[in-house]
Structure 1
């Protein structure tokens, strides 16, 4: 239950009495003598109730109500009035005030009105939270595409981790989308309005690594012209994405560990430490602990980076996502040229589902763009023997079900007629492939 209350009244005796009543009843109380001070210190999405006198020097209670309503129409405001102000207070309730209390009022009367207002505030904030979660989920579904169970689980993990102040290690093969996932962890979290800095550790020459990460002062080394802000300092307040972290030189691993532990860094050639607030997201192909046992990576840094781990499945392990991804990339490429992507023949779809995709999503995107541009189908090899005919048929069946559900907007009867399936068989197949009708319903 929420218990935050702000009391605004220019009379010290009223403020003192109300604070005593509310504090004894378990409420957290803030007091202001002026409405201007209340507005200056009011946090966004304040999780409580405002109690304000109507007549005050400067901004009065009605003006305060108007200002508060402009920012948050659902914020409950209880007005305290003298006898002559009752008609004015009734009009204020028509304009959005939650309640008014005529002075002198009893503690019981105040507490009753306050508790009802807080209950309403709690319902409003919970409703907002649910709407925000649904909006984030919808946005994430259009960013991390796929209907496989693995992708659905990954999206849930990303939403859970995005708001947590923990470092994350992403494991996955080349082209599996590690940077896109890192970007989602940043964009869907509280650091979204701060910098997102991506750095490929394998692409930086070892001699330049320290200056690139930590920056340098003028004259720190030969050729150091002027002061330079490093990537870590530039990302202050935001997120640093270190791709192929296993390629980082051991000497720089020790310095990165110190930054993570102390939230401070030093530029090359400087003696002064600079405080930084960073979230580190690292990506790797190999197991960092195995790299540590082989002497190629610091074990203490591996543990610091791997507070939470996300594993990205290769495309060959989620073949049911291939048609959706292919269609997305082909449509995007065609749209850039102002044309419509040509249809995908069934034989080519079967070839897509049979290919092993060693380059993962990146390779698939290239194939889709070639198809959209009319450059012909890529030369794809079928999957090795480990990909059984049964697995390929399962993936194709899932795609057919998904296409029918999308076409009929989740209307089961239409899907049954299109695929010539009885209701029970369709239900069993949808359950086996993790398909839910509601995901395909078009909501206005």
Structure 2
């Protein structure tokens, strides 16, 4: 295939497909992914070069497709405690994060282990994003609160050896309550911990932050509620989708001197074509084409330089997700051998005696016939204690390394 990337879309009409893969240059349909119900907004992800993952609207189900198979996988059953509002897969395809009501769930994908359940938001979670290096997890909610976690803290086995109710909650890196209404979308740059990230809200503001410190770098005030945001790979151009259907772009190369700046049609360039609110945005891999999805049932692709519409893709219902994806060979391969293993998701964080690493060690121990059940139990208990002790030590070493890094960074700045 000549195209370097394709466009993956979903809408609220699921009779035809749950997700559709388009060649956005020719409007040819490459694949239809069926039988997964209606894909909820912010619930469409790729797992490496192997799978498409979606969450079904208003149902506690995740659906998985192999890239080359248009029918949902029947061998992988992913049942959730409750319907998911948003999902995110870490860049290394190891962890899966979901927002369900006010709780953040983090699973280990290959084992299905539930590693963490956090509840910092007071109202339902609306969006989750991993940083490009996988070190940070950002969570936005209807309460206008943004919570930033260190992924290592969320998945540390020393914390999760006991039930979540016993160990308490992980302390976030920082919490921001700058928005007065729900956070509707957020986007993180591609420079790891040195990135910026942006949030938009129904309170008509877009806020730009430093990812590492949480410092508010810029606040843009618009004249309408905002529902989607993205900026290019260089973090030079910011694109914001509003309730009126207009997408506005703002240059970050020459930011205003004041932290707060009011944006109107005179001070920003616009992409005008949609008739209803723009719910999702994405840029292709070369940052030359912008894709927008709206409640008017259309997906538009735009030429960035001229701000002209290139193609219009009509759906039968409001758009829920759009995503540019690389043109992987697995989309058209006869046989796909997945590099990632997906296991059934567990419902609690208490590993107990079924914790796989400890169980493998126990199975490798050969006991003679004259050793009784009491001896076996003692061996099990000693291995459990040793595992717990080692995990605590690893956690302490990690915390010490973080403190040294912070101290070193502060000295360098001074």
TM-score normalized with structure 2 length: 0.21
Select the structure that is richer in strand: 2
The one of the two structures with greater contact order (alpha-carbon pairs below 8 A, sep at least 6) is 2
Name the larger-Rg structure.
1
Select the structure that is richer in helix: 1
